[in-house]
Amino acid sequence: KAGVTQTPRYLIKTRGQQVTLSCSPISGHRSVSWYQQTPGQGLQFLFEYFSETQRNKGNFPGRFSGRQFSNSRSEMNVSTLELGDSALYLCASSMGPSGSGNTIYFGEGSWLTVV
Amino acid sequence: GDSVTQMEGPVTLSEEAFLTINCTYTATGYPSLFWYVQYPGEGLQLLLKATKADDKGSNKGFEATYRKETTSFHLEKGSVQVSDSAVYFCALGNSGNTPLVFGKGTRLSVIA
């Protein structure tokens, strides 16, 4: 059974640009969550989608957005990139909503560097 | 709201030493509890979980027991190896209306 797949794995962007990251969940999983991980702030929750609906959103500015498609694949977008957006972006999927006690499974992440 | 508190790291141990990483939680009701591990350069992996009081989760020699009376879920391993060097995250899931709540992570370094 294939795991959570994130693309691209590594990317470098310039300040002011925008970026789109993609996540393919485990087959049959309908919930996708996104996290930002940095050395200074640790693991921070961005948002969660379940059956194409955003269920929860973390404390991030509106430059961070996401969506989920009917096949449960998800994308997140960051517009007007800032140096502080450099981070590992992790996607995780689960059968049901993550807070319901469902185990969530992580991808290997997308490493974003903003220069 | 729900929260998880882990012991601050980093933790440095010699090979074959006993490991304990403390995790306590604050939550209403009966949450599910998890330990995730992140090896260098990788995403997080589920290490073990427990879904009700007194449950013991175990995997790869690691164990944690869900203690409702002390609201704790401490991670233990009897004899650590260099390959256990990683960051360990305690997490809590309590409601379909809120996301999984993670602790800040504890970095473990095991030296030969």
Cβ-based contacts of A4 with chain B (< 8 Å)? 43
Average pLDDT taken over every residue of chain B = 94
Secondary structure of A61-99 in HEC code, one letter for each residue: CCCEEEEECCCCCEEEEECCCCHHHCEEEEEEEECCCHH
What percent of chain A is predicted at pLDDT more than 90?
87
Helix, strand and coil content of chain B, in percent to the nearest 5, comes to 5, 50, 45
Residue B77's pLDDT band, with cuts at 50, 70 and 90, is very high
Query: Which of B49, B51, B95 is the closest to A99 by Cβ?
Result: B95
Task: Write down the pLDDT at residue A97.
Answer: 87
Residue B44's pLDDT band, with cuts at 50, 70 and 90, is very high
Task: Write down the pLDDT at residue B37.
Answer: 97
Cα dist from B72 to A72, B2, B23, B36, whole Å: 34, 13, 6, 16
What percent of chain B is predicted at pLDDT more than 90?
81
Structure tokens at A87: 């981070």
Interface test with chain B among A37, A43, A45, by most B beta carbons within 10 Å: A43
Q: Rounded distance, CA B58 to CA B35, Å? A: 10
Residue A39's pLDDT band, with cuts at 50, 70 and 90, is confident
Cα dist from A113 to A13, A91, B63, B91, whole Å: 6, 17, 37, 27
Cβ-based contacts of B89 with chain A (< 8 Å)? 43
Residue A1 has pLDDT above 80, yes or no: no
Cβ-based contacts of B51 with chain A (< 8 Å)? 101
Q: What is the arithmetic mean of pLDDT over B44-51?
A: 95
Task: Write down the pLDDT at residue B14.
Answer: 97
Residue A30 has pLDDT above 80, yes or no: yes
Structure tokens at B7: 């012991």
Smallest Cα–Cα separation from A48: which of A40, A56, A39? Answer: A56
Size of interface A-B (CB pairs under 8 A): 63
Structure tokens at A63: 């430059």
Please tell me whether residue B82 adopts helix, strand or coil conformation.
helix
pLDDT digits (tens, 9 = 90+) for B26-36: 998 889 999 99
Task: Write down the pLDDT at residue B9.
Answer: 85
pLDDT digits (tens, 9 = 90+) for B81-109: 999 999 999 999 987 778 889 999 999 99
Q: Do A102 and B104 touch (CB under 8 A)?
A: no
Average pLDDT taken over every residue of chain A = 94
pLDDT digits (tens, 9 = 90+) for A58-112: 999 999 999 999 999 999 999 999 999 999 999 999 998 888 888 899 999 999 9
Where is average pLDDT lowest: A111-115, B40-44, B73-77? B40-44
